[in-house]
Amino acid sequence: MRVLIQDFLPNRELFYAKLNMAAKNAHNMATLLLAVIETAPGEARDQLCKQADKLEHYGDEITHKIYLALDRIVFTPLNRNDIHVLAGAIDDVADMIKEASTRINLYNITDISTPISELTGIIQKACAEIQNSVALLRKHRADNEILIALRQVKLYERQADRIYYNAVASLFANDKDPINVIKYREILQSLENTVNKCKSAADVLEVVLINR
């Protein structure tokens, strides 16, 4: 029994630590995305996007290590499938942030519209709530605090939907340049999809709370 406990405790910390690293990395990428929209096209923005690429690859490595650990470790602190799905959901958030930053840079966007700015801010706040929730998974008496954070993420997702649809409607109504419409619509779509991925991660975290 003592050996089982000795094996379980380090493995328990390993999974919590890796999941927290992944969530923190996504939050760091969201903060970097804010810097991208605040930086004019040029070398400085290019460097920020390269940094986002590196963080996205770092996130992939964390996810891969979690999957490898699931294959070799018998006793896990949370439901095995929940760990797998949560790691993937957080990785999806990072992937979408990278896509959004890449599009902003490649399309040489100089005029950052209010909806783009608002959606980017929502992404950063939603990622902060997810990171906080993942960090609290270690504590069995923090369920209520986690649920409050997850409800906030869902509120952000509803706000993002309204901003996105209003922005696209305004774009079609007021912008007569079809190339411009396509570029801005794709960027808005990437940002809105990122918020949707944050909401998906929040849904997974709710399942984790139910199953643990």
Residue 140 confidence (pLDDT): 79
Residue 6 confidence (pLDDT): 44
Average pLDDT over residues 80-108: 97
Q: Which amino acid is at 174?
A: N
User: What is the distance in angstroms between the CA of the first residue and the CA of the last residue of the chain?
Assistant: 21
Average pLDDT, the chain: 93
Q: Please check whether residue 29 is in contact with residue 98, taking contact to mean a CB–CB distance below 8 angstroms.
A: yes
Q: What is the pTM of this model?
A: 0.93
Domains and CATH numbers, the chain: 2-211 (1.20.58.220)
Which phi and psi angles does 148 have, rounded to 5°?
A: -65, -45
Q: What would the two tokens of residue 39 be?
A: 């930086």
SS (H, E, C) 62-109: HHHHHHHHHHHCCCCCCCHHHHHHHHHHHHHHHHHHHHHHHHHHHCCC
Q: Which amino acid is at 85?
A: V
- Condensed to tens digits (0 to 9), the pLDDT of residues 143-192 reads 999 999 999 999 999 999 999 999 999 999 999 999 999 999 999 999 99
Average pLDDT over residues 10-38: 93
∠ Cα 79 81 82 (to 5°)? 65
What angle, 0 to 180 degrees and rounded to 10, lies between the N-to-C axes of helices 43-72 and 80-106?
170
Residue 10 confidence (pLDDT): 58
- 204, pLDDT greater than 60: yes
